[in-house]
Structure formats: C-alpha cells, structure tokens
Chain A
Amino acid sequence: MITLQSSDKDVFEIEQSILIQSGTIKNMVEDDFTFIPLPSVDTETLIKIIEYMKKHADKTDSKEKNIKEFDKDFMKKTLNELFALVFAANYLHISSLLELLYPSIADRIKDKITEAIRQIFSIRCDFTPEEERRIIMDNKWAHEGTEIEGTLD
C-alpha cells in the first residue's frame, strides 16, 4: 500500500497496483518510496484521479464497455475541474487520462470567441496593437461574417 498526501494534507492509502498507472508514482515506487506528498494536487482533484485509476486498473475485456461509459461520464465536469485534472494528470504522467482530457477540453472551447478563450485560460493578450491587428487579418478568412473578436454575451 502506498500513501498519497494532497496539498491540503489529506492522506489516502491506495494499492500499489492501481497507482502504477501514474508514471511519476511508478518511478517513486521503484525507488522504494511508500509515502508520496503531492503538493500541487488538491484533495478534490486527487479523489477524482484515484477514482479514475481504480476504474482503469482492471482492464479485462468484459469491463471495456463499462470503462467507456465511465469515461464518458467522467468528462462531464466543469471546465475548471477539467483543468485541475489536466494539470494533475500531466504532473502524475497518466497518459490515458490526458488523452481523454485533451479532446474534452478542446470541445468546450472550440466554439468560443477569442476573448472568451482568454478569460477561460486566464491569459493576458500579449500582442502589441499592431501585432493583434495583423493576426486578426491573417485569420479572418475562416470567420466570414462572424467576428473573431465579437462580443461576450
């Protein structure tokens, strides 16, 4: 059994066989660590990650459809929850979860206008006004009629 500690100092004891789906944890286990602090993963996210790994630990054929259903429901979270998961999964090197998260996040932002995407990712627009004008001109062709900048509703 391995002990994980979240950033909120909550501890979880999980079987090693389940946790090796995380590349990071696997490496530490191989170096004989049994207590693993995860200062960048909060409790809520860690619970979800553990839930995912538990479900995916048993990959026998009969469970495949079951796992697919679970994955579909697992992605029905808020965008912020998905972001927290993608950071955690990236940090923990869980590639199957990442492959699930990338298209789900892409789907959520694909119909948004530029300003909305900036807000979602909390990004400042680092373009100079000149650069910004040029970039918009470069990409205008794909947006006939509808505006890239648009207005937020």
Chain B
Amino acid sequence: MDETIKRHLTGEERGGDGGGGSSDGDFESSMDRFPNHIIINVLEKMDLVSLCTAACVSPTFNSAVAYILPSLPSFDLSGFYLDEETLKHVVHRVQGAKSLTIDCLQMKNDSSIINILSDHIEDLSLLKCSHLSYDILRAIGERCPNLRSLLIEFAGLGAPDLLRMKLTGMLQKVSLLESLSIKIRGTLRDVFDVRPLVAFLPEGLKKLKLQQTGEMFFVVWLHTVRDIPWFKLQSLSLVLDVISDGLIRTVVDSLPLLVELDLEDIPFMEPSVRDLTNIGLQSLKYCRHLIALSIVRSRKNFPTSFTRVDNIGMFLLSEGCRGLESVKLGGFVKVTEAGFSSILYSCLNLKKFEVLTSPLLSDLAFDNMIGVARSLIELRLVSCRLLTSEAFEDLSLFSKLEVIDTSGCRSIGDPCLFYISSVTTVTKLNLAEADITDTGLAILGKGNLPIAHLCIRGCKRVTDKGIQFLFHDERKICKTLSVLDVGRIAGITDAAIFTIASTAKALTDLSLRFCFHVTDAALKMLVNRPNNNSSQLQRLDLCNCRGLSDDLIMLFQHKSAFRGLRWLGVGRNPLVNKREDFSKICKARPWFVVCFDDCEFGCHDGWQYHKSDD
C-alpha cells in the first residue's frame, strides 16, 4: 500500500492494553479490541451504579472508571445505604467531586461527615442529619470555602443559641455562597433566628430556604436587608408560623427582584389581626419578576385557613402578576371558581397550577379553556369536593399536560377518565378517592397513555377486572409504570396482583395498604416475577393487609426473594409480630428498612419518628 495512504489509515488509537479478548462470533471486524478511549467515552455516559458494575468487568474497565469518577459533575449518594466507612471510601474514589448529596441518617457522629469535607466541594446537600450536631456548620465553614450551595437538615436540638453561633461562624467563611437551605425539624425552640444572616450576609446569596422561622423575626430581618443595595435575593422559601399582610408587603418592599416566592404557614391558633388578606395578595404585583408563587396554609397544628381572602384578592393577584408560570394555593376556602379561573386566564405562560383544599372550586372554573394557557404541564386540584368530571372536558386542549392530580375529589367519575385518556402526554395520574369504576379503567387503558405513576387509592368501586382492563399486554403502561397505589380498595384480590406481577415490568413501588383480601399467594406471585425484563420491587406497603399471615416471614428470610426491596410497611399486619425475625434480616441487609407503624412509602420524608423506636 502507498505509504501516505498507510499513514492516514493508521488511526490514533491502536487498541488498548489488556481487557481485550478475541471476539469470534457475531462481531466481525479487523480490530479485535476496543480502544481505551471508546470505552471511556461510553462509560462517561453511565450513571454511578452502572459504573460500579462496569468497574468489575476487567482491569481496563476498572481503570477507565477510576479515570472517569472524579470528573463526574455530581454525586447523589442519597439513594444508597452508606455507613461511615463506606462513605469515606466512596468519597475518596470521587476525590475532587464538586457536588455531593448524602443521606446522613446512618451517620452517628459528626466526624463521619467532617472527614469527607474538602475545598473542592461547591454544592453540598446533607439530608436527614438526625444524629449530627450544629458543629457541622462550623466544620463546613472551615473546610469548604468554595461552597456555592448548601442544603442541610437537622433534627432540632432545642439549642437555638448554639445554632446561631455555629451559623454565624460558618457564614463568615463561605463568602461565595449563593444558595442556603436549612431545615430543622421536630422542635419549636429552634425556630430560626435570622440575626446571623444580617451580620454576615454572603454577597452573592440568591436563594434562601428556611424551615422553620418566625414571621416577626423575618420581618425585622427584611427591614434590615432593604438598606443593603447589593443584596439581590431571587428565591425565597419559608415555613413559618403565620403568613400576614405585613410579611408579604415587607417581602415585596425589600426583595423587589424576587423570582420565586414559596410560603407555607402552620398556625397554632386562629390568626387574629396579623393574617393574609386581599391587600397582601395585591401587593405581590410589585415583584415584577415573579414567576413562581406558592402560598399554603397547613392544618397540621390547627384547623384553620385563609378566611380573609376571597375572589377579589385573586383577581388582584392575577391582574398584577401575569408572568406567573407556577402557582400553588392551599387553604383559600373562600375563593370560588371565579377567583381561580382568573389566574388561568391571566397567566398565559402558566406551567404548574395547584389548588389544595378548596371547597368552593367548581367545574365552572374550567368551563371555557379555549383561550387558556396551553403551556400547562402540571394540574393538581386536591380535595376540591365540588369538582366533577365535567371540569375536565377540555383537558385535551392542554397538549403538554404531564401530571394530573385529583386526589380527594370524590365527585369525579368515569367520564373524567374518558377525557384524560385523550391527553397523550400524561405520565403521572392521581385519582385517589374518585368515584370511578372498572369501566373507567377500561377507558383509561384504551387511551394507552405512558403512565409512570398511578394512584387509585380509595377508589372503592374498582375490582380486579378494572386492573385487568388497564394492564392489557401490549400497552405502554406495562413498560412505563413504576409506582402503583391501589390501597384501600376492597375489590383488589390476588387476581389483580397476578395481573400486576405478570404485566407491570417496570414496577418499583407498590402500595396495597388496607387491601383486606390480598393473601400470601399474592406475595408469592410478586416474588416470582420473571427476572429478565422485570425491575426489582423497591418499596412495598402492606399496612393493614389483614388477609396475610405471619408465615410470610419465611418468604422474606429467603435470600433471593425481594432482592431489591428497600422499604417494607407491615403496620397492623400479622407480620408485626415477627419483629425479631425482621431485625435479623435487616442486619444482613442494612439497606432494608421495615416499618411497623402506619407510615407511607419511605416513612414520609425518611426520618419519621416512630412510636416503636427505642
């Protein structure tokens, strides 16, 4: 061959070293090995778990993974069970990582986290620090001077002064901080004292999220920051004791550049003088850049709502804030469909619309959707008892709709499913407590929607037949469904579980809460799902499944059964008596959590205090 041609055809890479065996068989090529850089380029596109599998393939793959790991942009380790040793080891392998998310539930002392802090870290999320002290903040300040974003969750220690001191110490050192999120749960006494945030305000702070703080403290703080010209907060998220007009007006005054505002209050008593009224809502128009707004009153501590806001407040809001793309309103019991629909008509770029607990919201709000936001992606109308199926007649006009949530709307029936079945983009559907029947599920099934999350909890009229209609073999839902909740349905028996076990190939979360007629046979079917093409079940809720027997423990003791299971709920179930057996199983599989109380998947936010905890 001509020399120059030969020169051109000799590629840069003449194969790697090691790792290449001969490939006789289907693959014919004159190059019998994969060049290293191809392996690296392919592996670079894989997630952390797959990389760990790939590392075990051969020495070449192992080196490739070792080469890639440190340069991955972020590490979310929150889904993994990691004890102190393993965490140190894993972080060591990803040395130089800029972004880390860690579930700290298992970390028993501060040193386990302090040891992995380094000055490379720019984005740090420490979730569920139930055993860690506020001293972590000091350590973060000292070891992570380049920190841009911090999210940290503490179990309240009843030591507000200590918190303030440590927080002050940290803020002095992290001058590049742009986003700060601190959540303290479980105690009233650590209600967030924002004073350190005055003295040592990082210049670039754009996002602030605090749970929980006091309205009065915060208003004082806002007055102070108003005079700081370079302070340009863009995103504010607070959980506090009460949302008042004064708070909103001060927010608007002091933070005119706000893009996102998220307020939730949990009052202990009926708010008296300081409360949200129409005037407060009106003042939001002065935040000209506002895109996301969420105002929710929670009834966790006291059954109260926003009684001083009515339709006029909503009209003023929708007129003043036309640029809103995400709206969430909870507890506005005096607002009727006129108020809510004004938002739908005004905010033409609306992508998310969520209304919680509105007893006066009726179908008329959605009467004429032809002129309305086509850009809607998520629609949630929770516990709105006046809504019927007719509200959803025009649903197919929303060509981008992905999430529909009507939980708690008991007057919705089968016709709604007919309308929903024509919205081909829906992936998450929650119809809890709706008055739907098997016929409705058949209609939904025919729509062949690529649903990934489906909840029909409490839809009492559904039976096994409905499930069969839904999971017809060739349907998209069989490949896409990962989360299914069929709790509180008496009509669900082993036959339905058989259908689910054999057709739902991607199922990872299954809730059978309060399904009284499910028996041991159903669980055996779930264990025997065909291995290839089926995902592993990760969360299973069997709370109050009275049809089960405690013989089932033998199923869980089997090493290969339910291999991927990470959370199991057995509250009020005969298996509750097998606590000792379960603790042996959990010792062998430390990532496996069994809940003997009534918790939902994952025990709510993952660190629910259980009555049964030692």
Physical interaction between A and B: yes
State the A residues within 8 Å of B (CB): 7, 24, 27-28, 31, 33, 36-40, 42, 80, 83-84, 86-87, 90-91, 98, 102-103, 105-107, 109-114, 117-118, 121-127, 131-132, 135-136, 138-139, 141-149, 153
Determine if B8 and A86 form an interchain contact, defined as CB atoms under 8 angstroms apart: no
Determine if A110 and B531 form an interchain contact, defined as CB atoms under 8 angstroms apart: no
Chain B residues near A139: list those with CB within 8 A: 52-53, 55-56
Determine if B80 and A123 form an interchain contact, defined as CB atoms under 8 angstroms apart: no
Cα separation A48 to B4 with both chains bound (whole Å): 27
Cα separation A113 to B531 with both chains bound (whole Å): 13
Instruction: Give me the 6 closest cross-chain CB pairs, A-B, nearest first.
Output: A122-B23, A106-B45, A142-B52, A139-B52, A144-B591, A124-B21
In-complex Cβ contact of B563 among A84, A117, A118, A146 (8 A): A146
Determine if A84 and B11 form an interchain contact, defined as CB atoms under 8 angstroms apart: no
Determine if A141 and B80 form an interchain contact, defined as CB atoms under 8 angstroms apart: yes
**A-contacting 9-mer, from B82-90, B95-103, B396-404, B450-458:** B82-90
Chain B residues near A91: list those with CB within 8 A: 9, 11
- A117-B54 contact in complex given A40-B31, A153-B531, C-beta closer than 8 Å: yes
Cα separation A74 to B83 with both chains bound (whole Å): 44
Interface SS majority for chain B: loop
| Contact indicator per residue, chain B 20-50, by CB within 8 Å of chain A (1) or not (0) | 1111011111110011001001111111111
A sample of 7 inter-chain contacts (CB < 8 A) reads A24-B11, A31-B4, A87-B29, A113-B53, A117-B57, A122-B21, A123-B21
For residue B34, give the distance in angstroms from its CB to the closest CB of chain A. Answer: 6
Cα separation A135 to B89 with both chains bound (whole Å): 13
In B288-316, the 8 Å CB interface with A consists of none
Determine if B532 and A153 form an interchain contact, defined as CB atoms under 8 angstroms apart: yes
Chain A residues near B606: list those with CB within 8 A: none
- A103-B45 contact in complex given A145-B592, A146-B563, A153-B531, C-beta closer than 8 Å: yes
Determine if B52 and A148 form an interchain contact, defined as CB atoms under 8 angstroms apart: yes
Determine if B58 and A84 form an interchain contact, defined as CB atoms under 8 angstroms apart: no
| Contact indicator per residue, chain B 107-148, by CB within 8 Å of chain A (1) or not (0) | 000000000000000000000000000000000000000000
Q: B565 on the interface (CB 8 Å rule)? A: yes
Q: B589 on the interface (CB 8 Å rule)? A: yes
Chain A residues near B532: list those with CB within 8 A: 153
Apart from A102-B42, A145-B589, 8 more pairs, CB < 8 Å: A90-B38, A117-B53, A121-B57, A125-B57, A127-B59, A145-B591, A146-B536, A148-B53
For residue A75, give the distance in angstroms from its CB to the closest CB of chain B. Answer: 13
| A144 closest partner in B (C-beta) | B591
For residue A67, give the distance in angstroms from its CB to the closest CB of chain B. Answer: 21
Q: B81 on the interface (CB 8 Å rule)? A: yes
Determine if A123 and B86 form an interchain contact, defined as CB atoms under 8 angstroms apart: no
Cα separation A39 to B90 with both chains bound (whole Å): 45
Chain A residues near B82: list those with CB within 8 A: 141
- A135-B56 contact in complex given A84-B29, A145-B566, C-beta closer than 8 Å: yes
Determine if B50 and A111 form an interchain contact, defined as CB atoms under 8 angstroms apart: yes
Interface centre among A27, A36, A126, A147 (most CB of B within 10 A): A126
